[in-house]
Amino acid sequence: MDQSQLEGWTRATAVQVLQVFLENSSTDSVQGFCSFALRNTLPDGTSLGSWSDQENFRHRILLAFAQWTSSKARQLDDHVPLQNHMPNVHCSTSLNNYVNQEHAGIADAAISEFIYHVAIRLLGPDAACFGNALGGFFARGGFSALRGDGTSSALSEYPALVLSDMVRYLEEIQAKVLKVAQELTPNELAGSLLMEFCHYFTVITTFSQQSQMLQFRLQAHENVDEAFQTSEFRIQLIDSCGSLMSMLQHIEQVYNRNQSLTVAVDFEGVDLCRTGELCLVQMTCDDDPTLVYVLDVHVLGQKTFHLATPTGMSMKYLLEDHQNVTKLWFDPRNDVDALYHQFGITPRNVMDLQLAEVAIRRSQGHVVKFVTGLQRCLQQSDQLSHDQVSCAQDIDNRAKSLFEPKFGGRYETFQERPLRDVILMYAAHDSRYMLLLYQYYIQKLTEEWYGRVLAGSSERAKWFQHTDYKRPGT
């Protein structure tokens, strides 16, 4: 097929794709998508020209569309930190004119149109298809920032909230497109593509008749669907300001409602300390212990900790809260060294589960010479079922073959993007079980021993205070 034929096929298929997924195939959008698809290498390393049949070509077009949508989402996401706490006078005036119209239906239509024009202004004229989809998303009540009192004050006062919703919706579209591509040619989609375009995952457990063992795999979801919500092991990957803002808003609601919060925290990185790179932060909140947030610090950088909601909730605020938020860690010393020296954060109100396990042994009269690792603690706990222990051990072994040098791996695996599915499961499974360990340990600790653990935890949380880095001992 020559270049002219390739361009013709691309345009015809692009019109169909935009109409199916966005219900808009404007000339500018079709031209913009075609130009992107023809000049860029696809996520699997191929190009549109390297196809074997019509079905294969559709598959490649869908990959290109997921990639194009992702690029627009990232472009929009770049505006979220810039708009945070910065009221936009032009935006506010325009919206006030809209919402003061006589009929609510007219106002809703006007705001949908306003969102359409915001998308075009920020993303370019070829984004008309996305502007149309985002306007429809608002009409269906999809913008969490515009719910509640029926006004659009959130958009005029804090545009970052609505921009975050727009980013999340585009992320859902790209995941949906990829899932359709997977259905077309399931054998051609590597797991890395799911990791690049999807943000919601569940861990599926199956029993292999051949090996007579449990097997685990990652299942991607387009959004928070029923299958995701009912799973016992859920992971949300946070690698955009939009998804981070959404998470912070949820945590803020729980915090305000309960006036307290317990979160399990775990870090992954390369030579993690004040000079090594922090790559991932895993966090599980006690309001929903089956959901693990995995924050991609390698992608988000300082924004991971300093992006805040309009009322000030941020990861920095959460970690530094000294009264209402209990942070569960398993030996926080290297983690806090990195937090303070690289991000200016001083964690407070820390409960070290490693010290809690030591305290339990000592309270039972044992002479303790060494601390115990997390996997060993999980195996010894009666809070976990046999399947849960097997899951933790299997994921641990598979991941260490990728990042532990003594098992043939390399720590730089944590810096590779897209993340590998095993690495995401490994990162998530530790913090998932830490809340269970906490409940198990506090039942066994007397008030005196609990106080000792908190005192020791506080000292470990100050590990960053050493003038020069000090490697933690046992």
Residues 235 and 372 both lie in one domain: yes
Determine the pLDDT at residue 190.
59
Q: How does pLDDT run across 299-317, given as a tens digit for each residue?
A: 999 999 999 998 999 999 9
pLDDT at 455: 97
- Per-residue confidence (pLDDT) for residue 393, from 0 to 100: 82
Q: What's the rounded mean pLDDT across residues 29-41? A: 96
Asked whether residue 299 falls in the same domain as residue 191, the answer is no
Per-residue model confidence as pLDDT tens digits over 104-144: 555 567 778 888 988 999 999 999 999 999 998 887 777 76
191 and 261 share a domain? no
Identify the domain containing residue 161 by its residue range.
1-195
Q: What pLDDT sits at residue 392?
A: 80
In a domain, 402, yes or no: yes
Domain's final residue, options 135, 168, 195: 195
> Which helix (H) or strand (E) covers residue 96, if one does?
helix 89-99
Asked whether residue 82 falls in the same domain as residue 231, the answer is: no
| Within a domain: 219 | yes
Query: What's the pLDDT tens digit per position in 370-387?
Result: 888 888 888 887 777 877
Which residue, of 195, 227, 249, is where some domain finishes? Answer: 195
Q: Is residue 470 part of a domain?
A: no
Do 169 and 239 lie in a common domain?
A: no
Can you tell me the mean pLDDT for 429-455? 94
Are residue 164 and residue 241 in the same domain, yes or no?
Answer: no
Question: CATH code at 348?
Answer: 3.30.420.10
pLDDT (tens digit per residue) in 280-291: 999 999 999 999
Name the domain boundary from 175, 195, 215.
Answer: 195
Task: Give domain status of residue 474, yes or no.
Answer: no
Both structure tokens of 115: 């969102």
97 pLDDT tier (thresholds 50, 70, 90): low
Q: pTM of the entire structure?
A: 0.92
C-alpha distances in Å from residue 234, one per residue of 57, 87, 350:
33, 36, 25
Rounded (5°) CA angle 458-463-465:
110
Residue 344 belongs to some domain of the structure = yes
**Are 8 and 34 contacting, i.e. CB atoms less than 8 angstroms apart?**
no
pLDDT digit string, tens, across residues 392-419 = 888 888 999 999 999 999 999 999 999 9
pLDDT at position 366 is 84
Give the pLDDT band (50/70/90) at residue 264.
Answer: very high
180 in the same domain as 227:
no
Instruction: Please indicate, yes or no, whether residues 424 and 439 belong to a single structural domain of this protein.
Output: yes
Give me the pLDDT at residue 370, please.
86
Domains contained in the chain, number: 2
Average pLDDT value for the chain: 88
Q: Are residues 233 and 159 in the same domain?
A: no
106, part of any domain:
yes
Both 250 and 181 in a single domain? Answer: no
Looking at the structure, tell me whether residues 281 and 410 fall in a common domain: yes
- Mean pLDDT is lowest, of 16-25, 151-160, 239-248, for 151-160
Residues forming beta bridges with residue 202, ordered by sequence position: 219, 234
473 found inside a domain: no
